[in-house]
Amino acid sequence: MTESPSSPVLEAKEVSPASGPRQNATRRYGDSLFGALLTGSAVCTLALVALIAVELTHSSLLSLRAFGFHFLVGTTWDPVAGVFGAWPFLAGTLLSSAVALAIAGPIGVGAALCLSELLRARSSAPLRFLVELLAAVPSVVYGLWGIFVVIPLLQDYVEPFLVEHLGFIPFFNGAPYGVGILAAGVVLSVMVLPTICSVSIDVLRAVPRDLREAGYALGATRWEVLVKTVLPAAKAGIGGAFILALGRALGETMAVTMVIGNRPEIPHTLLDPAHSMSSVLANEFAEASGDLYLSALAEIGLVLFVTTFVVNALARLLLPKAHGAGAHG
């Protein structure tokens, strides 16, 4: 006489319906807890940014009340007399960043085209790793490289050549000091190159393959497909890469401080020594005495914070448009 199946099986069948609601409740509780943790992390990040802005604004109140908008356009920086104008530092920051983008932009986009369109994955992957490795090098190392390699090279060869052959152009007229806007731009160009190259590679790979095949089907050469099809489809994303690199260049401190010359005057040529917003903070904040002096430095930090925040926000707005255009193309 055969017996029914063993009791453990029956017990399992009897327990599973009862345990189902408990398991679902546990999962819902875990999901809610996980969502709360993620939300808390996001809120903490936003709160941290807001606190930085509030603290910088509060520390800048004395300077804001004393100088107002004239602080941004003033050309005199005299801590002894209590007169502070930030335009020399704004000009130095903008010029050095512009030089960096002018040098790194074409190189970064060209390298991205080579790694994403011309080379095979087996060859491009190690090369891309080496390019991205540049972003991991500490800025002080770039500063030392600038002091021992870039500055002597510019002082002995590049700047004398520019003065002799292109001295009629105002940007290349001056004394070949070596240190200055051009040296800072060269060092910054190497530092922002990984950003331009990496982001451009991702944007170029997001361009639909159908566009390339359509160009080849119409008889276009590889050069024509790249220039007339791929690059126009990826121009918004490449623009975003440039803006991200600009944000990196605007906020760079140590390497720029070591090679820019640190002179609080408006640079008239690319060969002149100058100051950037970050370098003046690094050089003078520790030795600043007096509430107005500290407040003026804090206002420079506030201007730098707002500038980099706006630049990075603009880049984040451009990059999704680029990927969206690539997906719909």
Contact status, residue 250 vs residue 156, Cβ threshold 8 Å: no
- The neighbouring-strand residues paired with 261 are 274
Residue 288 confidence (pLDDT): 87
Task: Summarize the confidence of residues 193-199 as an average pLDDT.
Answer: 94
What predicted TM-score, i.e. pTM, was given to this entire model?
0.84
**Cα(238)–Cα(260) distance, rounded to whole angstroms?**
28
**Would you give the end-to-end CA distance of the chain in angstroms?**
73
Amino acid sitting at position 119: L
pLDDT over threshold 90, residue 76: yes
pLDDT tens for each residue of 99-152: 999 999 999 999 999 999 888 878 888 998 998 888 889 999 999 999 999 999
pLDDT tens for each residue of 80-93: 999 999 999 999 99
Residue 322 confidence (pLDDT): 53
The CATH number of 70-328, from 1.10.10.10, 1.10.3720.10, 3.40.309.10, 1.10.1040.10, is 1.10.3720.10
pLDDT tens for each residue of 266-299: 999 999 999 999 999 999 988 888 899 999 999 9
Domain ranges of the chain: 7-59, 70-328
pLDDT over threshold 50, residue 205: yes
Amino acid sitting at position 99: V
